[in-house]
Structure 1
Amino acid sequence: MEFTLFTLLNGVSYGLLLFMLSSGLTLIFSMMGVLNFAHASFYMLGAYVAYAISSWLGFWPALVLAPLVVGAAGALVERYGLRPLHKFGHIPELLFTFGLSYLMVELVQLVWGRAAVAYPIPRELDRALFTVFSTSFPMYRGFMMLVAVLMLIAIWLLLTRTR
């Protein structure tokens, strides 16, 4: 029973993590018709920007500011990089975003180095959300699941309540 419950919760938490990664890619392609091969690189950039901001201001400001910074960067790329290419079809967009992906990886490696950076779990989330018998479910996973569900609701409202 305990094993099944935690296996189910771990599967749901990883599924929600994949949802957070894939929902943006799906929305960009379905609504804008853009094949964005740099999408995962923007997520990577967001993680490193959050790492940098959290070292200065802490976890909670980084949680708010990093998506705004990377979202602004994405808007600039769309406006000045992708929009002029859109009239030429998917191949130029694909080549541009593929090259941008390489550029972003190199930029991150120049700024933060080639080795992965250690990012500890914030102390507010570094405890058990609940415990069944002797096994605990971490609070940070529960928080991530909550953020993913809120994101799902926000996307659903955006798609069903707007034109």
Structure 2
Amino acid sequence: MRALVQRVSEATVRVDGEITGKCDTGLLVLICAMKGDSEAQADKLAAKISKLRIFTDEAGKMNRSLLDIQGGALVVSQFTLAADTRRGNRPGFSTAAAPEDGNRLYEYFAQALKDLSVPVATGIFGADMKVSLVNDGPVTIWIDTEVN
């Protein structure tokens, strides 16, 4: 699985003008299931993200996790994280999981974060979503379970 994690002071996702999910201090997690991914990758990713020490402590060092600060997560599906740009100018997305698997793993990942005591809000899988955020730092981190 792949995730683009952004430390935020706030984030919101809208579908058809209606807010479907939002969080205050915490993380915006853009998530993509890849072909062959399973619940094991989703569990690994949820554990890593919940414990990722990217929030500042009293000394101003990035030394606190989402769990430490009791922050929330806005989880948004984004199959375009599977983009292959090695050939030509049009990205290919053939390495992304099929929509049924992608949705299942997206929902599983969101629940895995909840099970780790992270308050989670979500977008709507496959919808045309409008995501807004205030990136805190900015801090943006790429995680791929096949690499990290």
Alignment TM-score, normalising by the size of structure 2 = 0.28
Alignment TM-score, normalising by the size of structure 1 = 0.27
Structure number with the higher helix fraction is 1
Structure number with the higher strand fraction is 2
